[in-house]
């Protein structure tokens, strides 16, 4: 089962569940923990929470675009996006928590108020892909579930719904294939058929639970997986 085969209401529900999962990790974190490192290079947890908040605001711009037909990109530029996050990270802990809650509520409001006819309207993502605006459910799910782990205070891939894990794996492998990366790499999820990234001879194999293999493929470390062959980490995905 792939995320995008689900009904829209189920997809939005998975995004909301992921948001609640992120919100719980954030609630567990004392204010002093926000200045500590996230699992993402160079970002404190404050950067990460600001990013997740601004991501919701950026997705609202895509929903506005779909609703009005007036092109409003997620971000003006990569520089503007980075600057916004850097400035957001300097806010007080209370303001950062507020930013997160406020943008979550706005995104939910935009989803609830989008007219039925607008859900197939095409918009452009920050990566430059043209997609129906319903894709915002997946983009947001991916963000909140994975970044909940990146907070580094107890979030686990093993807590993700199976459909989210399976769709992440399909997306990551698809991205590697499009970029011509991951040659010779085979992924072996316990109990499932192995997946060769390309048709060249196998040079390494990563085996383990679905959660472990997805975690590894997403560049979040080799925990609960066995890597046979060159252990050079996964190719870049996003
Ligand atoms: Zn992100």
3-state per-residue secondary structure call for the chain? CCHHHCCHHHHHHHHHHHHHHHHHHHHHCCHHHHHCECCCCCCEHHHHHHHHHHHHHHHHHHHHHHHHCCCCCCCCCHHHHHHHHHHHCCCCHHHHHHHHHHHHHHHHHHHHHCCHHHCCCEEECCCCCEEEHHHHHHHHHHHHHHHHHHCCCCCCHHHCCHHHHHHHHHHHHHHHHHHCCCCCEEEEECCCCCEECCCCCCCEEEEECHHHHHHHHCCCCCCCEEEEECCCCCCCCC
- Tell me the CA–centroid distance for residue 146 and ligand 1, in Å: 8
Span from the CA of 42 to the centroid of ligand 1 (angstroms) = 14
CATH code: domain 159-228 is 3.30.1050.20
Interval between CA 145 and ligand 1 midpoint (Å): 10
- Residue 53 CA to ligand 1 center (angstroms) comes to 10
Residue whose tokens read 């004392």: 30
Cα–ligand 1 centroid distance for 134 (angstroms): 18
CA of 140 to the centre of ligand 1 (A): 9
Query: 54 C-alpha vs ligand 1 centroid, how far in Å?
Result: 10
Ligand 1 centroid from CA 125, angstroms: 13
- What integer pLDDT is reported at residue 231 of this predicted model? 74
Residues surrounding ion ligand 1 at CB below 5 Å: 143
Q: What is the pLDDT of residue 88?
A: 96
| Alpha carbon of 2 to ligand 1 centroid (Å) | 21
Backbone angles phi, psi at 208, to 5 degrees: 160, -165
CA of 108 to the centre of ligand 1 (A): 18
The structure's pTM equals 0.94
Tokens (6 digits) for 55: 């991501």
pLDDT of residue 7: 96
Nearest to 125 by CA among 113, 115, 134: 134
CA of 3 to the centre of ligand 1 (A): 18
Would you kindly state where each structural domain of the chain is located, as residue ranges?
A: 3-155, 159-228
Q: Output the CA 4–ligand 1 centroid distance in Å.
A: 20
pLDDT at 202: 93
Please list the ranges in the chain whose pLDDT falls under 70: none
Domain 3-155 falls in which CATH fold? 1.20.120
Helix axes 93-113, 45-68, angle to 10 degrees: 20
Looking at residue 1, its pLDDT comes to 77
**Residue that is written with structure tokens 């799910």 in the block:** 141
Q: What's the gap in Å between 147 CA and the centre of ligand 1?
A: 7
Residues 46 and 170: their CA atoms lie apart, in Å, by 30
């Amino acid at each position: 089962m792939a995320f995008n085969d689900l009904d829209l209401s189920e997809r939005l529900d998975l995004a909301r569940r992921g948001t609640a999962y992120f919100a719980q990790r954030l609630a567990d974190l004392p204010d002093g923990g926000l200045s500590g490192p996230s699992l993402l290079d160079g970002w404190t947890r404050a950067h990460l929470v600001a990013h997740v908040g601004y991501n919701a605001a950026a997705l609202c711009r895509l929903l506005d675009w779909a609703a009005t037909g007036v092109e409003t990109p997620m971000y003006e530029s990569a520089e503007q996006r980075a600057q916004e996050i850097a400035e957001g990270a300097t806010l007080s802990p209370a303001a950062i928590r507020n930013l997160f809650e406020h943008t979550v509520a706005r995104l939910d409001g935009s989803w609830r108020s989008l007219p039925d006819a607008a859900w197939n309207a095409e918009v452009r993502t920050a990566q430059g892909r043209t997609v129906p605006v319903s894709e915002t459910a997946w983009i947001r799910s991916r963000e909140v579930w994975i970044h909940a782990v990146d907070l580094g205070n107890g979030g686990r891939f093993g807590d993700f719904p199976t459909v989210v894990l399976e769709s992440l794996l399909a997306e990551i492998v698809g991205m590697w294939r499009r970029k011509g990366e991951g040659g010779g790499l085979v992924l072996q999820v316990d109990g499932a058929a192995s997946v060769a990234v390309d048709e060249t001879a196998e040079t390494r194999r990563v085996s383990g639970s679905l959660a472990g293999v997805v975690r590894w493929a997403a560049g979040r470390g080799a925990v609960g997986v066995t890597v046979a062959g060159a252990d050079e980490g996964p190719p870049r995905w996003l």
